[in-house]
A = this chain, B = another copy of it.
């Protein structure tokens, strides 16, 4: 194989930079992933130009993000979805609808492009509840009413986010018409529901048998086969590959504890997910921020992203009083991985411009950085 030395050096540089920047960001109490993205901005073609636009890095990043979504899916039990109360469901649904509509309308007004508007709307949808959850845990408030509402809403939010992503990805690939959009929507919902209803039943039946096979870690191997297979199928039917990965995790979540699936996925996560965030950052052209209109757009879309969750999620629980509504709203503000995935799919498919890509990444980073200190102040005992 030619050039393997060069590839190994580049993999080393990408991985080491991601880990070092992640560590630095953890030290200033920011999520490591922002550091990893910044590593990508620095290594990318617009600055140091150390990551060539080659398939191998793209594919590693893609496998990385599949592992990421698989890990998210592993934490969602189908029973949990059914158990989630009406209030949390409403928080999730309104928290998806409001940001989507705000992002969609804003983009439509400034760009007049429906597909682009759908991608921006979709990128504003999914809450990254991990950051919020850590704050609740730090303050020993995991059993509080607000925490329970938010964590339950996050489960529905993840699934809705996936469906929205599936719809816009599908819509972005064909000619856009109401019929086409309807077909894609049905397909996306059908794929998710089929796997929730039929997939989990098949898993319940066959996973224990696989556990009795001779192969070492047979259930984990099956999980990886599922992950690759469902990702391929999701990609094939024009949903995004990661939706298959997410569903693979969700279908196997019942067996997560028994076969230590999360624990076994962790090293794959540690190794491969940084490639995703670095590649994500490498596509940001910092030069677009030289234009004042980009700052304006970034500021505006960040405000809309915050308002969307505050109003949507807040409204859903307004009966419990203004204070609870505000806490729930702020708790749902941080965006993260899923929004970034939506943006990168949009960029890769040509649906969104590199200006809007930079704007969206700014918004996603800003909501993630701004919410924790506010939430900490809101929740801390007076």
List chain A positions with a Cβ less than 8 A from chain B. Answer: 1, 4-5, 7-9, 11-12, 15-16, 19, 22-23, 26-27, 32, 54-56, 58-59, 62, 213-218, 220-222, 224-225, 228-229, 231-232, 235-236, 241, 264-268, 270-271, 348
Contacts and interface: CB of A to CB of B under 8 A. Distances in A.
Contacts of A236: 5, 9
Contacts of A232: 5, 8-9, 11-12
B5 A270 contact: no
Copies in the complex: 2
B228 A11 contact: yes
B268 A268 contact: yes
Contact of A23 (B59, B218, B264): B218
A221 B232 CA distance: 29
A231 B267 contact: no
Given A4-B59, A11-B232, A12-B225, 20 more contacts: A1-B62, A4-B58, A5-B236, A5-B241, A8-B228, A8-B235, A9-B236, A11-B228, A16-B225, A16-B228, A23-B218, A26-B215, A32-B215, A32-B216, A55-B55, A217-B267, A224-B270, A264-B270, A265-B267, A267-B268
Of A7, A220, A236, chain B has the most CB atoms within 10 Å of the CB of: A7
A231 B16 CA distance: 14
Contacts of A268: 267-268, 271
Contact of A12 (B16, B218, B229): B229
A231 B9 CA distance: 9
Contacts of A218: 19, 23
A270 B221 contact: yes
A23 B271 CA distance: 27
Contact of A15 (B12, B224, B270): B224
B235 A23 contact: no
A62 B59 CA distance: 15
Nearest to A230: B12
A191 to B, nearest CB: 15
A23 B214 contact: yes
Nearest to A7: B59
A300 to B, nearest CB: 30
A349 to B, nearest CB: 9
A59 to B, nearest CB: 5
A16 B229 contact: yes
Contacts of A9: 232, 236
